[in-house]
Amino acid sequence: MKSERPKSKRGAARNAPKRRDSSGSDKPSFKKNSTKNSGRGDDKEFGNKKFVYKKKPKKLAEKPVDDKIRLNRFLANAGICSRREADKLIETGVVSINNKVVTELGTKVSPNDVVHYGGMLLQSQKKQYVLLNKPKNYITTMDDPEERQTVMELVSKACNERIYPVGRLDRATSGLLLFTNDGEMTKRLTHPSGKVKKIYHVTVDKNITQKDLIALVEGIQLEDGPAGADKAFYLADTSKSTISIELHSGRNRIIRRMMEHLGYKVTKLDRVQFAGLTKKDIPRGRFRHLSEKEVGLMHRVCGLIPQDNE
């Protein structure tokens, strides 16, 4: 019996499986381990392993922290006024920094500076935003000489900062009332050009006709000029003596005067929405702080940029 002789490399090549190349000829199929370049100078493949070479990121030079703020912003943060009004105060020479009167706009204040306005020491306060569901028989004022109940009694424990009501609701009106120490926001929300949306539920002494509902929207001539609602409609599941009125006017007792002009007496007036904020989850006579998201909403409504992005 003949023993099999080992095949030479040349014989193995002859017996290797053949493949066709692009020209149609048969060639043995051999694969060589080659270094492949992926197209990037720092990525290479060796066999089945891929090695990635990365450059170490350069360390960015740390920028010095500027903890100074403009004087007009400092005055607004202290609840004195808006920034624009603060510029006027600065120019009149009623503001001093470290006992030196400052009249130059753009002056900055550092945390260690001592600022006086009209002889009063000022401190930059944390911004607070408090939403109250006001009950009837409370007056919207900081202090009442007749010692009647004021809305400030209802929010006295809301925060340590001194906050102020944004606009007002008369004594017989209930509903949403915003408080803040943000002077710039207060100005934007109360100025007629802001056109802040407010929604009221109004109940009168008799059913309101369709004709008068239309008249509320088309406009009514009052003693101090024309007035009208943006929207007015009957509320579902109520009698026609209760309607919803949406308007942006901030004139004194505007809804009561419009209804009186049409021959109705308002028996109940409740503000249910103010600048997108609602009474949800706020019992009558209670308050809550605005969430960060709601504060951002208020800044957008006012056309302001949140402080963190300034």
Domains of the chain in start order, with CATH, are 69-122 (3.10.290.10), 131-184+282-309 (3.30.70.580), 197-274 (3.30.2350.10)
For residue 278, the model assigns a pLDDT of 95
Write down the mean pLDDT value for the chain: 82
For residue 214, the model assigns a pLDDT of 96
Average pLDDT over residues 78-83: 78
For residue 263, the model assigns a pLDDT of 97
**pLDDT tens column, 172-229:** 999 999 999 888 888 889 888 888 999 999 999 999 999 999 999 999 999 999 999 9
For residue 11, the model assigns a pLDDT of 53
Q: How far is CA 4 from the centre of its chain?
A: 89
Higher pLDDT: 309 or 152? It is 152
Contacts (Cβ under 8 Å, ≥6 apart) of 9: none
Higher pLDDT: 160 or 243? It is 243
Q: How confident is the model at residue 127 (pLDDT cuts 50, 70, 90)?
A: confident
Closest CA to 26 of 38, 34, 18: 18
Average pLDDT over residues 110-121: 86
Active site residues: 170
Tell me: pLDDT of 20 over 90.
Answer: no
197 and 275 Cβ atoms separated by less than 8 Å: yes
* Structural element, H or E, at residue 163: none
